[in-house]
Structure 1
Amino acid sequence: MVASALSFSLMGVCVKQLGGRIPAAEVVFARAIVSVALSWWLLHRAGIPAWGNRRWLLIWRGAIGTAALLCVYAALAALPLAAATVLQYLYPPFTALLAWLLLGEPIGKRVLAAMALGWLGVLLVAQPAGLLQGGATLALVPVLIAVAGALFTALAYVSVRSLGTSEHPLVIVFYFPLVALPLSLPLVALNPVLPTPAELLWLVGVGIFTQLGQVYLTRSLTALPAARATAISYVQVLFAGGWGWLLFGESIDSWTIAGAGLVLAATLVSLSHSQRQKPS
């Protein structure tokens, strides 16, 4: 899960380098093209049948994952980055709750503590004025879209956890972009933008790092209970903050450092718990 978080943070670097000129749906479409090609090559190389066993659930995972992406990008466009980040990171508790309700997976006290530490850390890192202070009011519809994105993300992760009992991880990864392609194409057709050569390279980077992130994510969710795996994913905030400082000159204040410490503590708690569970 740590490798997945690192890969997704590098994907975020590529998206940031695009500068917002390419519409969100086109970014989703481009990353899907790259991921489909890479997934098909990996499946063919390994001699694994691509179409899986529980095809309707695989399609559902792809559709709900695409909906999550579109909601996240829409929220990022309409909300301050800090507020959108905090709301998106509601997905670990949502995932834990849904895994308990739908899969019967218990939620341990240490995992709950890790989630609380992680979300508080994200809150301190992001410092969203609209959530922490009364002076700035966030528009309701974008907030609801952001929360919906977190919920769809949780549903997608629980689907991956369920599919792990019958499907190879590469098959699960393959279906996500396979479904995203036809779902995002109509949105691309509404507002097509021709990327420059530099933007095309960054779009390829988005696809490559997405592929890596999805492979590691799927392997993590098939090996660990959903609540524990998503609690570890808070470490992505640390990676994103580090890239922002190193590559984009973004400032780091005392609140950011305190929040990063809480996120790191949450990750270590989750990792230590998963290590103790391995023998069983």
Structure 2
Amino acid sequence: MPDSDRGRRAMLGMVASALSFSLMGVCVKQVGGRIPAAEVVLARAIVSVALSWWLLRRAGISPWGQRRWLLIWRGVIGTAALLCVYAALAALPLASATVLQYLYPPFTGLLAWLMLGERIGKRVVAAMALGWLGVLLVAQPGGSMALAWQPVLIAVAGALFTALAYVSVRSLGQSEHPLVIVFYFPLVALPLSLPLVALHPVLPTPMEVLWLLGVGLFTQLGQVYLTRSLMALPAARATAISYVQVLFAGGWGWLMFGEAIDAWTIAGAALVLAATLVSLSHRQRAR
């Protein structure tokens, strides 16, 4: 496949990943008022382990990979990120939690440069700057949004862990199949979340079980699209494209939770969209 087609598919994959994760946020928000974050992570891990195992068997791929310690490390970091993200989604408005999560692209670009030696081009820097400005506008709609500092700090920690996980995926892409990387994430999350759930178990209702299944399903889809795209794109460019998740979150928040969308939110969303379009218009030069 030509590099241009491969890059285009990877970019579209990042958009699909963002949509899937935004739907995951809706499901988490539906149960977050009563079900602890660790229990949501456990439910997600159970669903994703089953789906990943089925996909690996169907593709005839060994699930255990080559760089197992790095795969486990990626799972540990990803689990920490999920705990923070789910806790923030439960405590904050959907759009606000998603916006704070999108502090991770600058972290990712910096870590990819420090750890992987990836060069950050001018167009990607411009896209990140536009997206960052859009995030700030959405975070302060009308200047009247007041967020509790505890969930805000949790969301920022989730952004940092997410950046570390993204960079590790980029490194693992050199040796591992995408489905193997996706499989290790819930495989590690399962034993890590069990002790936390045992401390404060909550029996979900039948409707909550459906929402928890939705968390697992949409997270699995998002992870598959994300992992494949990160293996084909530089980490900084991929995360700049994924800013479109803020748009999705704002739409779901308005439709399902009655979250107001004012001029500040619209302006921020426009900048986020501009960041995505700048990234999509990038054309790699032949050497």
- In 1, distance between residues paired with 2:32 and 2:89? 13
CA distance in 2, matches of 1:256, 1:279: 39
Change (3 A) 1:243 1:142: closer
User: How far apart in 2 are the matches of 1:224 and 1:136?
Assistant: 36
CA distance in 2, matches of 1:123, 1:217: 24
Deviation of 1:147 (Å): 2.6
Shift of 1:277: 1.7
Q: 1:208 to 1:164 in 2, by over 3 A?
A: same
The one-letter code sitting in structure 2 at the alignment partner of 1:191 is H
Q: Which amino acid aligns with 1:101?
A: L
Q: Are the aligned partners of 2:52 and 2:183 in contact in 1 as well (CA < 8 Å)?
A: yes
- The DSSP-based 3-state class of the residue aligned with 1:51 is coil
Mean Cα deviation higher: 15-24 or 111-120: 15-24
The separation in 2 between residues aligned to 1:14 and 1:244, in whole angstroms, is 12
Q: Is the 8 A contact 1:111 1:227 kept in 2?
A: yes
Residue 209 (structure 1) aligned to one of 218, 227, 239 = 218
- Range with bigger deviation, 262-271 or 9-18: 9-18
Do the aligned partners of residues 261 and 233 (structure 1) sit closer, same or farther apart at CA in structure 2, a change above 3 Å counting?
Answer: same
Match status 1:241 vs 2:250? yes
Residue of structure 1 equivalent to 2:272: 263
Match of 1:93 among 92, 100, 106: 106
TM-score normalised to structure 2 length: 0.89
235 and 82 in structure 1: CA distance in 2 versus 1, 3 angstrom threshold: closer
C-alpha distance in 2 between matches for 1:173 and 1:44: 14
Q: Which has the higher mean CA deviation after the structures are superposed, 192-201 or 71-80?
A: 71-80
SS of the residue aligned with 2:281?
A: helix
Give the Å deviation of 1:245: 2.1
Tell me which of 151, 155, 164 is aligned to 2:164: 155
Pairwise CA distance, 1:143: 4.5
Name 1:184's counterpart in structure 2. Answer: 193
Tell me, yes or no, if the aligned pair for 1:85 and 1:126 is still in contact at 8 Å: no
Q: What are the within-5 Å matches in structure 2 for residues 45-56 of structure 1?
A: 45-56=58-69
Alignment match, 1:228: 237
Please, which moves more after superposition, 36-45 or 145-154?
145-154
Aligned pair partner of 1:28 in 37, 41, 53: 41
- Measured in 2, the distance between the counterparts of 1:190 and 1:50 equals 31
In structure 2, runs of 5+ residues without a counterpart are: 1-13
**Structure 2: how far apart are the matches of 1:194 and 1:79?**
23
Aligned to 2:10: none
Instruction: Give the aligned partner of residue 42 of structure 1.
Output: 55
Counterpart of 1:263, as a letter, is V
Residues 77-116 of structure 1 mapped to structure 2, 5 A cutoff: 84-116=97-129
Q: Distance in 2 between matches of 1:253 and 1:137?
A: 17
Instruction: Tell me the CA shift for residue 119 of structure 1.
Output: 1.7
The more displaced of 216-225 and 117-126 is 117-126
Bigger shift: residues 120-129 or 247-256: 120-129
More deviation, 96-105/65-74: 65-74
Partner of 1:13 in structure 2?
Answer: 26
What's the counterpart of residue 6 of structure 2?
A: none
- Name the SS of the counterpart of 1:98 in structure 2: helix
C-alpha distance after superposition, 1:236-268 (max 9, x if no partner): 010111122223333221111111110100000
Provide, for residues 19-50 of structure 1, a one-character-per-residue CA deviation record: whole Å limited to 9, x for no partner. Answer: 52111000000000000000000000000000
Q: Give the structure 2 partner of residue 68 of structure 1.
A: 81
Aligned to 2:138: 125
- Give the CA RMSD over aligned residues: 2.1
Mapped partners of 2:146, 2:16: distance in 1: 36
Gaps of 5+ in 1: none
- What does residue 8 of structure 2 align with? none
In 2 relative to 1, CA 262–55 (structure 1 residues): closer, same or farther, beyond 3 Å?
same
Secondary structure of 1:115's match? helix
Q: Is the 8 A contact 1:82 1:128 kept in 2?
A: no
CA distance in 1, matches of 2:89, 2:225: 25
Aligned counterpart, 1:277:
284
8 Å contact kept, 1:83–1:128: no
Q: Give the aligned residue type for 2:196.
A: L
Q: 1:156 to 1:22 in 2, by over 3 A?
A: same
- The letter for the 1-side match of 2:159 is A
